[in-house]
Amino acid sequence: MIRSAVIALLVVVFGQSTHAVMAQAPEPRGVERQHRVVMHVNSGEEKVHRGILNNVRHLYQALGREHLRLELVAHGEGLVLYAKNKTTLGRELTQLQADYGIMYTACSNTMKAMQLTRDDLIGEVGDTLPAMVRLMERQEQGWAYIKP
């Protein structure tokens, strides 16, 4: 009798837990999820810039535009990537924004230090604010941080 009661209890307990687990919808994975990435560039080397733009392209190709929001934040020497008279990648930046909707943010503190104005930057740059503040805010909002 005790054995029957224990078996019945186990069936009820495990049956309910299995039912509860099965009732929960699985979290979307991979390309089905909405991803948010903030990338950080502070190198002035063109080779590094090209690598970052390749990383951006690869992310969008793997996940799709509808599943990825990406913001590239440049400060320090990395700001030359956005400077009209210094970047060699202006066309690529324009094309990436047209193809994928990537957001470009320039550090306002670096702009002051380099004596650059918004007119000195490529037109695709959106926000200009302190880079460290933007990176912190994005991470607090749950964005993945990548520094290639």
State if pTM tops 0.85: no
What pLDDT does 30 receive? 54
3-state secondary structure of 104: strand
* Domains along the chain with CATH numbers: 32-146 (3.40.1260.10)
Residue 66 token pair: 């509808």
Give the mean model confidence (pLDDT) for residues 77-106: 97
What pLDDT does 20 receive? 46
143 contacts: CB under 8 Å, gap ≥ 6: 36, 37, 38, 71
pLDDT digits (tens, 9 = 90+) for 29-57: 555 789 999 999 999 999 999 999 999 99
Instruction: Order across the sheet with 144-146: list the strands.
Output: 125-129, 103-107, 68-74, 35-41, 144-146
